[in-house]
Structures are given as structure tokens and as C-alpha cells.
Amino acid sequence: MNRMTIRRMFLSGWKNFARGGAVSAATVLIMTVTLAIIGSLIFLSALLSFTLNGVRQKVDVSVYFVTSATESDILAVKDKLEQLPQVASVTYTSADAALADFRARHANDQLTLQALDELGGNPLDASLAIQAKDPSEYESIVNFLQASPTLSASGTSIIDRINYAQNKDVIDRLSLAIQATQEIGFAVVIIFAIASILIAFATIRLAIYTARDEIAVMRLVGASNVYVEGPFIVTGVVTGVIAALLVLLLFWPAAWYVGGKTTVWLGGFDTASYYAGHLMMVAGILLAAGVALGAAASMLAIRKYLKV
């Protein structure tokens, strides 16, 4: 196919779109709604990821050490844990820091503070708070600690207890919730993608139907399938690009408005900030989706008219 033929197909496709009038406007409108749904799914996915990450950060497993454990021995355990691929972070809290934090939390509870002073010492243990990259990995981390008990220089175990048993139910429920959310989110994306293709197909098919006589004449005079399809595919691509640009323009005031109203309610997720920070990604996805939907729907819709 030479350059002149390609140029003619592009010009013909643009003319078809311009001459379409109300049909082209309706096609752009439907495609805009379709791409807005796809764009909304991007924000929904980001919100779910933000929420799940926030929950992950609130769940951890703590390892408490005997009061005789030295700081160097505890830090050696910390180093070993940080080398595990399942571990995201390990935070060390000394016995003195734990005591200071306890006093701060109970600053208004004089009875508790008085009882603490009567003990004449620090009853709290140093600890390590372990956060895993995935909640399902906590059990393997605990198994690592239990299978290889950490010893001090004197040869005795310095681990007093691990609170995994108390947190196990919460961790298991979180793992199931994350898995279910990901599976449901994937299913929703597939359903909306299929619905979008069907809507775009039906609308573009209506636009092509108005040109059925022109297509029939082109086929009768011997025009190739590619020559007949080309202008309509270009029209579909133009429709998708215009719809994507409209969605990008409409999303900015919508993201700003929603962000101002729901940031606190959504736990700190700001749709306006997310949109501004990921504009290129969102634009790329919407433009690619618009081009793909327009081209695919045009190719499917014109198939029946290629048979003479």
C-alpha cells in the first residue's frame, strides 16, 4: 500500500467523522462515557491499593526479648531479619523507649503510673516490630525465628515471646481480604471492558450503517477490504482520541471536587493529587483504550458490509 493510498484513507476517515454530524457526536458521547468508566476504574484501583497498603502498615508481628538481652544481640537479630526477602521493615524499640512511650500513653492515669513507680525498675522488654511485604509471609518469618532460636554471647536464647498467635486471626483475615479485593477488582475491570467494547461497537456500527450504500458501491467496483475498512478505522480512532481528550479535561475538575470532599473520609487519599501526579499514565491508558476501542469496534462493525 503506497503513501498516497494511506493519505486518502486518513483524509476520507476524517471527512467521514466531520460529515457524520449528530451520529459522530453521539459516538463521541458514548465513547466518552465508556472511557470515563475505564478512567474511574483507574482511580478505584489506586484507592484500593492505597487502603490496603495502609492496613498492611498497621499489622505487624512483635518479637519481645528477655530483660537480660543486650542491645548488640538484639540488633544482630534485627540484621538477620532484614536480610529475609519476606521482610519489608524491622523497627527496634529499646526497653527505655518502651517505658517512655508507656508513660506518655498513660499520662492521665495516675494510678497506673504510681503502680509502675512502686515496681522500682523497668518491667518492659525491648522488642522488634516486623512488617512483612505480604501478610501471608508472617508465618514463615515466625517459623524462621522459632526454628533458629537467637542466642546471646552466653549461649542462652534471648527471645522471650512472639505475639504472632494473638495477631494470627487478624493477619489471616487481612490476607483473605486482599486476595478477594484483587480478584473482585480484576473481575470488575473485565466486565466493564467487555461492556465498553459492546457499547462502542453498537454505536460505531450505527455510524457505519449510514454509509452502507457507499461501502456496497466501493466493493462492486473492486475496492480491497483494506481500502474499504481503512477510512472507518481512522474514523473510529479519531472518535476514541477525541473522547479520551474530553475525559482527561473532565477528570480534572471532577478529581479536584471529589478530592476536596472525600480526602479525610478516604483515609488521606486525594484524587486531585493522584491525578496530577499520574497524569501521563492516565492519559496514556485512556488514549490507548480510546484508539483500541475505536479501531476494534470499527473493524468488527464493518465486517458484515465487506461481503457482496
- Whole-model pTM: value is 0.65
pLDDT digits (tens, 9 = 90+) for 89-117: 898 988 888 888 877 877 777 777 777 67
Reported as a single tens digit per residue, the pLDDT across 191-209 is 776 776 677 677 667 767 7
Give per-residue pLDDT as tens, 178-195: 777 777 777 776 777 677
The yes-or-no verdict on residue 237 having pLDDT over 80 is yes
- Of the CATH numbers 3.30.70.3040, 3.30.1360.40, 3.90.1150.180, 3.40.50.300, which one belongs to the domain with range 67-157? 3.30.70.3040
Query: What is the rounded average pLDDT for all residues in the chain?
Result: 78
When comparing pLDDT for 90 and 23, which is higher? 90
pLDDT category at 281 given cuts 50, 70, 90 is very high
Residues making up the chain, counted from first to last: 308
Give CA–CA dist 81/75, Å, rounded. Answer: 10
Give the Cα separation of 213 and 131 in Å (integer): 67
Query: Quick one: pLDDT at residue 245?
Result: 94
Q: What is d(CA 113, CA 133) in angstroms, rounded to the nearest whole number?
A: 37
Q: What is the pLDDT of residues 34-69, one digit of tens each?
A: 888 888 888 887 887 787 777 767 777 888 888 878
Asked whether the beta carbons of 94 and 63 are under 8 A apart, the reply is: no
What are the distances in angstroms from CA 59 to CA 56, 74, 127, 131? 5, 21, 15, 7
The CATH 3.30.70.3040 domain(s) of the chain lie at 67-157
> How far is residue 237's CA from residue 178's CA, in Å, rounded to a whole number?
37
Q: What is the mean pLDDT of residues 163-192?
A: 73
Which residues are 63's β-sheet partners? 128, 162
